[in-house]
Amino acid sequence: MTIRIYSKPGCGKCTAAKEKLAIMGYTYEEHDLAYHTQPHEGWREDDSVDIMAAHSQLDTLPLIQVGADFHDYPSAMRALKKRRQEPEMTTPKARRHAMATSRTVASPA
């Protein structure tokens, strides 16, 4: 899972988000939001269109991308905490456990 932080220099929340990610043990890529929200060569190829759309919708700093999803700072932390609580699907035992606990029981007719 890739985590990207789009921030601006001097942003206190951006610094707090980076510190929180480090405490949680996540690595991330840091990007300058100003670069991605200004017209530039190759803006269609470097995902700037998606970043501009997410920034205009969320209208906050930092803009945090977790996988393919964009979040503001609080919702990114909630999403990452939730992912930590989900069982890893890497072992057969974990897959069996997830399947056993996610089954739905049909109610009698």
Tens-digit pLDDT profile for residues 2-19: 999 999 889 999 999 999
Check which CATH number belongs to the domain holding 16 and give it.
3.40.30.10
The number of folded domains in the chain is: 1
Q: What is the domain range of residue 87? A: 3-101
Question: Token digits for 5?
Answer: 């932080």
pTM of the model: 0.70
Look at residue 108 and tell me if it is in a domain: no
Look at residue 48 and tell me if it is in a domain: yes
Kindly report, residue by residue over 70-99, the tens digit of the pLDDT. 999 999 999 999 888 776 555 555 555 544
